[in-house]
A and B are shown apart, each in its own frame.
Chain A
Amino acid sequence: EAGVAQSPRYKIIEKRQSVAFWCNPISGHATLYWYQQILGQGPKLLIQFQNNGVVDDSQLPKDRFSAERLKGVDSTLKIQPAKLEDSAVYLCASSLGGSGRETQYFGPGTRLLVL
């Protein structure tokens, strides 16, 4: 079974530029998550989708971050414009359902450096 795929693996941009990340979850997984992991910290949830609907985006900085999951499968996360503090690893995860006991499966992440 293929795992969660993410691209690109690394990205370097200058502040005020825009960037987009892509995620393809495990086949059949209805729930998709985007996490931000700043160096030295644990991952923090940015947004959670159930199929193509948003369940939780309370910690997404909506003035600069946006995410979509149009067909309930793959997803993109965009930052526009980027700030220095956005330098982090962006992790995508998926789970079969949306309950608290579900195991979340993580992709390898996209490492973003904003200069």
Chain B
Amino acid sequence: AQSVTQLGSHVSVSEGALVLLRCNYSSSVPPYLFWYVQYPNQGLQLLLKYTSAATLVKGINGFEAEFKKSETSFHLTKPSAHMSDAAEYFCAVSEGQASKLTFGTGTRLQVTL
């Protein structure tokens, strides 16, 4: 069965600092991996996804993530945080032809001045 672990339910960074949100997955077959962002009282918006092409995936708003099979990881990074990045971030996995998404518990990103 597929699963996702997000380390750190809350992450706080200063504006302009590096953002690193961690995601580890478990999957019995080659996975598809996703990062979604959720702003207060809104639905989830796709940031980026890995679908077995390039292992370094670039997304919207300057975010990127690297798929590392040996570490079963798909960490999300952004070189310089902006106040508007404050939100909840979810990592998710799906397998093969089954599109069911299994989500992690989320990481709330706080950006301070």
Q: A interface vs B, CB < 8 Å?
A: 4, 31, 33, 40-45, 48, 56, 91, 93, 95, 97-109, 111
Please give, as numbers and ranges, the residues of chain A lying within 8 Å of B52 by CB-CB distance: 101
- Contacting A109 at CB < 8 Å: which of B43, B98, B105, B106? B43
Q: Is the CB of B106 within 8 A of A42?
A: yes
Chain B contact surface mostly: strand
For B51, give the chain A residue with the smallest CB separation.
A101
Q: Is the CB of B96 within 8 A of A42?
A: no
Given contact pairs A41-B106, A43-B101, a sample of 5 additional A-B residue pairs in the complex whose CB atoms are under 8 Å apart: A42-B103, A43-B103, A48-B99, A101-B94, A104-B46
- Contacting B104 at CB < 8 Å: which of A42, A91, A107? A42
How far is it, in angstroms, between the C-alpha of A4 and the C-alpha of B46 when the chains are bound? Answer: 14
Please give, as numbers and ranges, the residues of chain A lying within 8 Å of B34 by CB-CB distance: 103
Tally B residues with Cβ within 8 Å of A: 29
How far is it, in angstroms, between the C-alpha of A63 and the C-alpha of B91 when the chains are bound? Answer: 30
Please give, as numbers and ranges, the residues of chain A lying within 8 Å of B100 by CB-CB distance: 45, 48, 56
- Contacting A108 at CB < 8 Å: which of B43, B51, B95, B98? B43
Q: Is the CB of B90 within 8 A of A42?
A: yes
Q: Is B45 an interface residue (CB 8 A)?
A: yes
Please give, as numbers and ranges, the residues of chain B lying within 8 Å of A95 by CB-CB distance: 99
Q: Is B92 an interface residue (CB 8 A)?
A: yes
Q: Is B41 an interface residue (CB 8 A)?
A: yes
Q: Is the CB of B95 within 8 A of A100?
A: yes
Q: Is the CB of A103 within 8 A of B106?
A: no
For A98, give the chain B residue with the smallest CB separation.
B99
Please give, as numbers and ranges, the residues of chain A lying within 8 Å of B99 by CB-CB distance: 31, 48, 95, 97-100, 102, 104
Q: Is the CB of B49 within 8 A of A4?
A: no
Q: Is the CB of B46 within 8 A of A41?
A: no
